[in-house]
Amino acid sequence: MKKKIGLGTWSWGNKLFWNYEVSSDEELYETFSEALNQGFSFIDTADSYGTGSLSGRSEKLIGQFLQRVIKDKQNNIKIATKLAPYPWRIGRQAFSTPYKKSLNRLNNQLDLVQLHWSTEKYNPWQDFQLLNNLCDLIDEGFQFKIGLSNIGPKRLLRIIHFLKEKNKRVSSVQVQFSLLSPNNEKQKNVKKICDQNKIDFLAYSPLAFGILCQDPSKPGKRKSSLLRNFIFQTYNNPTLELRKVMKEISQARSASLAQVALNWCFYQGAIPIVGLRKKNQVLDICKVFKWDLTQREFERLENASNNCPKKMPGNPFSSL
């Protein structure tokens, strides 16, 4: 299978976790432009990305950046957003306005619309109302595919059947999937269903907020936000043995830890969505196209991951 990578943009506009500043926008454009140059397949965002007064900032930046790239590059990239099923977004028209606002922020280029998480745990029928809304928008002439995020295997099967009755289909499923993600067996069950139904399996947080990029032989650099510092301190010791195995492979391959983590995703047929903010990160990541894990390397990583005493927290809204 040809390797594909998505550019994740959660950090674009997020001050709380990523300490975003407007002054970094030009650097983000250089990152965006280089990702297109290096063959990234799509850009992933969400209408909820951006903190406080910066709500929607990620979508807005992508829309602005699209205006600056040549038409040929625009045509070769797919834009995906996620609409948040907030408790107050109820009914068959609750996504109509948010969708049109996202479309406007994204300069009228929007190829994939994803339900950001399942409402199964607080309003089991809301998912289906909102999916009906997306189907209605397509029937009205808006052109996009439907995707899901933070969905479990049981809910996925139900939604596949629901959309099939409306002559629609799930195009993609996005879940947390990395060497540090919790309950990977559940995610692998989701992957099997995706394979059976020709659905793209997208892996978000494949680098676990950057923890998997932390060299085990060097002291970690202080991060730009208190929250990121706390997370790195919390996971430094519990992930040490896993990162040592990753470093042995990276040294043997003359590759970065990030490339090792992404190739673990690729080995299983996943399409990782990698959050990047700097051009040099893109240049490193794109080298993953040039090599693959051996079966032995994959098994070593699987064993180290399974024995890791502390995994990342799961999404509280992820369904069964």
Q: How many whole angstroms separate alpha carbon 257 and alpha carbon 266? A: 14
Closest by CA to 79, choosing from 36, 21, 119, 118, is: 36
Closest by CA to 95, choosing from 79, 114, 78, 111, is: 114
Vertex 178 angle, CA 291 and 255, to 5°: 30
Q: How many whole angstroms separate alpha carbon 214 and alpha carbon 210? A: 7
AA identity, residue 265: C
Give Cβ neighbours of residue 279 (< 8 Å, ≥ 6 apart): 27, 30, 31, 34
AA identity, residue 253: R
- 93: buried, middle or exposed (CB in 10 Å: 19+, 13-18, 0-12)? middle
Active site residue 49: yes
Residue entry with tokens 């090599």: 291
Backbone angles phi, psi at 171, to 5 degrees: -90, -35
Element (H, E) at 92: none
Q: What is the dihedral of CA 148, 153, 154, 157, to 10 degrees?
A: 60
DSSP tag of 314: P
Closest by CA to 302, choosing from 263, 253, 258, 252, is: 263
Backbone CA torsion sign across 146, 270, 190, 242? negative
Q: How many whole angstroms separate alpha carbon 26 and alpha carbon 4? A: 25
Element (H, E) at 80: strand 78-83
Which residue numbers are catalytic?
Answer: 49
